[in-house]
A and B are shown apart, each in its own frame.
Chain A
Amino acid sequence: MPENELVEGLGLDEYQYGFVDDEAHVFRTRPGLDEDIVRQISKHKDEPEWMLEFRLKALKIYERKPMPTWGGDLSHLEATLDEIYFYVKPQEQMERSWDDVPDTIKTTFERLGIPEAEQKVLSGVGAQYESEMVYHSLKEEWSSKGVIFDSIEDGLKNHPDLFREHFATIIPAADNKFAALNSAVWSGGSFLYIPKGVQLDTPLQAYFRVNQERMGQFERTLIILDEGAQAHYIEGCTAPVYTTESFHSGVIEIVLKKDSRFRYTTIQNWSNNMYNLVTQRAVVNENATMEWLDGNLGSKLTMKYPSCYLVGEGAHGDIMSIAYASDGQHQDTGGKVVHVAPNTTSSITSKSISKGNGRSSYRGLCKVYEGAHNARSNVECDALLINSTSRTDTYPYIEIEEKRASVGHEATVSKIGDTQLFYLMSRGLTKEEAMALIVRGFIEPLAKQLPLEYAVELNRLIELEMEGSVG
């Protein structure tokens, strides 16, 4: 790693995923972005002409749209974007067996515990390294039932009609600046199709790893649940700690047909030099249920608002958000629920913790269109401040055009109570232990929804973070 330097002594040593592999790419574009880069990416993927045209059109939209002025501080982003690599190809082809994945990359994922988890608790795994999926597999049991779990590129190649029917229909390129950017340079991500009535009993996992310094990762995921299908998809992300800034901008599109049920869990633990700007949206049809469980622990700045568009009668959307902002971090997260059809219901629960000079912001939208009779929505946000330098904000937008709707929003902000601390310390806990216990209790209602290994990881992280937070 000639130009890479692992940053030490910044007090970030508790970030255990900060290790760096040797650079091992087979191709990468030059830094920065222009039409030529987009053409190169498309060529490397051997794409149909319509996709190249889509990318080029999206690039124009991206260039035309101004940088958002709300949310986090994006003032340094433009300079960062001029210097990053938009496409880094780590190996020639995607593998179906870990034995075929190059050793350096395989070791990385072993250190992250992915192959082990795959054997024990998962239905399928996708692993992305830099710009491409390096590994994808699905248990025979599910592939024989017609489940498709593949890289997004193979989805386009092998299922062109299904792909084209849904791609960019949920999140068009013009949706926002970063969706346009992703549409122009997307690479990697998953293509998932669950056929009618098939219900997966264990989760699918996609893992995203950025190793290259000054790297932009633009994964694109398209998920289709046919009628009555059920599945749970988990996304995890980490990166090494560099002094320079990196960029991750994903687009996740999900279609839930009638009576289907889907949960999308994200545990975002990027290193503290990562801009993480993600657009995630699900269109929920009749009597289907979409659940977003969104955990944001890492990154320098995250702006992410998972959305549910409830377009079918009786559709239900659930968004659960945990944000943890430590020194130098800004988590600008939340959720959007849009009620279009009658008898739709939704709930957003957000818990945030700000520590040191960290800042967590809840930003959300609850919109009820006229005609969505008996729509019901409830939003609850709780924020916990650990230090006097911590900051929290709440920006909920409530827009109601329907009389027969019921919508409520409640938010509270609090600090750890002196009486709570005193009680626990009088029982023999140290102040740090007591604080960690209170924080765990604060997020417990959401943490218990996490898969076990993530819940354990979250608790461990909180204990580490609470060390030295007293005073």
Chain B
Amino acid sequence: MSNSAQAVETSSAEEDIPSSLDGGAVERVSQGAPSWLSERRQHAWSVFEETPLPSTRSEEWRYTDVSRLLKFAELRVAPDGASGKGGTRPPGLTAAMDEDEAAAGHTMLVDGSVVHVDLDPALERQGVILTSLRSAVHEHGDLLEELLGTEVLPPEDGKFQALNAALWSDGVLIYVPRNVKLDLPIRTTRWVSHGGSAVFTRTLIVAEPGSQVSYVEELLSEDFERRTLASSAVEVIARDGAQVQYVCIQRLGRGVFCQSAQRTLAHRDSTLDTLNVNLGASVTRLDLNARLLGAGAHSDMLGLYFGDEDQHFDHNTSQDHIAPDTGSDLLYKGALDERSRAAFRGIIRVHPDAQRTDAYQTNRNLLLSDEARADSLPNLEIEADDVKCSHGASVGQLDSEALFYLLSRGLSQQQAERLVVLGFLGDVMTRLPLRGVVTKVTRAIERKLKSV
């Protein structure tokens, strides 16, 4: 950890100097880094500069106008979170961590820097790695050089992906050796504390053949007056026969533009499931791509969102069936109140060799107010003939029969509506019954329902 200590000193000296998102920021974040990494950052920065701002004229950004929602020029690189006084954790962060149940390990990030890591020593002895990316650059350089931001999430994927690859400050590396199985999940809490800042983090999860790991991360902050960018890149690799679950619970404060790019690679006979719960932030943009690369691979892709005020959610998912005999099943459900709006664009691509693919995609929306809006584009592109594919999308209002039933049992209109919404959304979590996640998310939804 000697190097991260150095980084702390450098940045604390600069704490008062607001740092723009520019080439200088790339140089500062590259200080002390091995050459492969600085080169990779420089390359990503040039891709960022060459890539035009996503426009609503493109299909992928049809419903989110970045030029209106985010001004790169007004953002400042967040001061190093590791430089803060150790003992004083924000109350919101402490509360969230107190709700966590047992874990195999924890990490905590403040403003894009890992400030705490712990891992069950028994797992450490079996070769499991849980560490900050900053120290992994030096301790596990070969692994990162091979995998970080290369085949999984290259900067060429898009403007935000390039920006993250150029400016990421820290993140989490999880490596699970062959046949090692973790009984409890690894939990991460990420906190953003400066309004107007931009925070860039990455997560890399590598599960070797026959291993098993669950990872649950939570994104939190207070509300901000100024637009704040929380950018994350998540790369997950499940090698042959591995079982991986990735869960992200996003409860950032208002004012935040939460941008997340995730890609999962599922090799032969592996299971790689994801759950994205988006409740917070003013704007949420998720790009999730599941690649089924080996025969017998399967991915469940679950999503849940609940908006109020003028929250804006944009989920852009894709399921790439590249090998034969693969399966994927996507279910994204959302409820939208007040003036909130959600867009879902999902695509199943069955590549020519992916015979006997079994792929499903469902997006369901519940509109709770007259001003709410939902757009849904469930797409299919099928180039193999021996497949079972279907998709469905719906937008509707609260089930009047369910409401009537509850009202007839003496519940108030408000109570009944809350229960129906909870039932509608809760349905997603029953598909991934991970310890602690269900209660945590249910509580978060209930809190949000009460404030309505």
Which residues of chain A (365-389) have a CB below 8 Å from chain B?
368, 370, 383, 385-389
* A422 interfacial by beta-carbon distance below 8 Å: no
Contact indicator per residue, chain A 178-215, by CB within 8 Å of chain B (1) or not (0)? 00000000000000000000000000000000000000
The residue from A402, A404, A411, A413 contacting B392, defined by CB atoms under 8 A apart? A411
B101 on interface, CB distance cutoff 8 Å: no
Interface residues of A in 341-395 (CB under 8 A from B): 368, 370, 383, 385-395
B51 on the interface (CB 8 Å rule)?
no
Min distance, Cβ B273 to any Cβ of chain A, angstroms: 23
**Is the CB–CB distance between B384 and A409 below 8 Å?**
no
- Contact of A403 with B367 in the complex, beta carbons under 8 Å: yes
* Alpha-carbon separation in the docked complex, A414 to B384 (Å): 10
| Cβ–Cβ contact A385 & B382, under 8 A | yes
B355:A398 contact, CB within 8 angstroms = no
CA distance A386 to B368 in the complex (A): 43
| A409→B392 contact, CB < 8 A | yes
**CB distance A400 to B375 under 8 Å?**
yes
Q: Are B396 and A398 in contact (CB under 8 A)?
A: no
Chain B residues with Cβ below 8 Å from A394 are 378-380, 391
* Size category, B interface: 35 or more
Residues of A within 8 A of B376 (CB): 396-398, 400, 409
Interface residue from A386, A389, A393, A413 paired with B387 (Cβ < 8 Å): A413
Asked whether B396 lies within 8 Å of A412 as measured between CB atoms, the reply is no
Cβ of A140: which chain B residues have Cβ within 8 Å of it?
none
One digit per residue, 1 when the CB lies within 8 angstroms of any chain B CB and 0 when it does not, for chain A 413-426 equals 11100000000000
Do B382 and A413 touch (CB < 8 A)? yes
Given contacts A388-B355, A388-B385, A413-B390, contact A397 B395 (CB under 8 A): no
B412 located at the interface, meaning its Cβ lies under 8 Å from any Cβ of chain A in the complex = no
A125-149 residues at the B interface, CB under 8 angstroms: none
- Whether A414 and B388, one on each chain, are in contact in the complex, defined by CB atoms closer than 8 angstroms, is yes
A453 at the interface (CB under 8 A from B): no
A297–B355 CA distance with the chains assembled, in angstroms: 27
A393 touches B380 (CB 8 A): yes
Known: A392-B380, A400-B367. A387 touches B391 (CB 8 A): no
A411 and B380 contacting across the interface, CB-CB below 8 Å: yes
Tally of chain A residues near chain B (CB < 8 A): 35
Interface: A408 (CB within 8 A): yes
B374's nearest neighbour on chain A, judged by CB, is: A400
A403 touches B397 (CB 8 A): yes
Residue of B nearest to A390 (CB): B385
- Closest Cβ of chain A: how far from B245's Cβ, in Å? 28
Q: How far is the CA of A395 from the CA of B382 in the complex (A)?
A: 12
Is B120 engaged at the interface, CB distance under 8 Å to the other chain? no
For chain B residues 359-394, which have a beta carbon within 8 Å of chain A?
365, 367-394
On whether the beta carbons of B384 and A395 are closer than 8 Å, the reply is no
Return the contact of A392 from the options B382, B388, B391, B397 (Cβ within 8 A).
B382
Residues of B within 8 A of A411 (CB): 378, 380, 390-392
A370 to chain B: closest residue by CB: B370
Evaluate contact between B392 and A410: CB separation under 8 angstroms. yes
| A405 to B383 Cα, complex, angstroms | 34
| Residue from B379, B385, B391 with most neighbouring chain A CB atoms (10 Å) | B385
A93 within 8 A of B: no
Bound together, the chains give a CA A395 to CA B361 distance in angstroms of: 13
Assess the A393–B393 pair: CB atoms within 8 A: no
Q: Give every chain A residue within 8 A of B388 (Cβ-Cβ).
A: 413-414
Instruction: Report B-chain residues with C-beta under 8 Å of the C-beta of A383.
Output: 380, 382
Report the separation of the CA atoms of residues A346 and B450 in the bound assembly, to the nearest whole angstrom.
37
Closest to A379 in B: B393
Q: Which residues of A contact B375 (CB under 8 A)?
A: 397-400
Does B392 contact A403, Cβ atoms closer than 8 Å? Answer: no
State whether B396 touches A415 (Cβ < 8 A): no
3 tightest CB-CB pairs across the interface, nearest first? A394-B380, A385-B385, A398-B376
Give me 25 A-to-B residue pairs in the complex whose CB atoms sit less than 8 angstroms apart, sorted by A's number: A370-B370, A370-B371, A383-B380, A385-B387, A387-B385, A388-B355, A393-B380, A394-B391, A396-B378, A397-B377, A398-B376, A398-B395, A399-B375, A400-B373, A400-B374, A403-B367, A403-B369, A404-B397, A406-B394, A406-B395, A407-B395, A409-B376, A410-B392, A412-B390, A413-B387
B interface residues (Cβ-Cβ under 8 A, vs A) = 59, 352, 355, 365, 367-397
| Extra contacts besides A388-B352, A394-B391 (14): CB < 8 Å | A385-B387, A388-B355, A391-B382, A391-B383, A394-B380, A398-B377, A400-B365, A400-B395, A403-B367, A408-B394, A411-B380, A412-B389, A413-B380, A414-B388
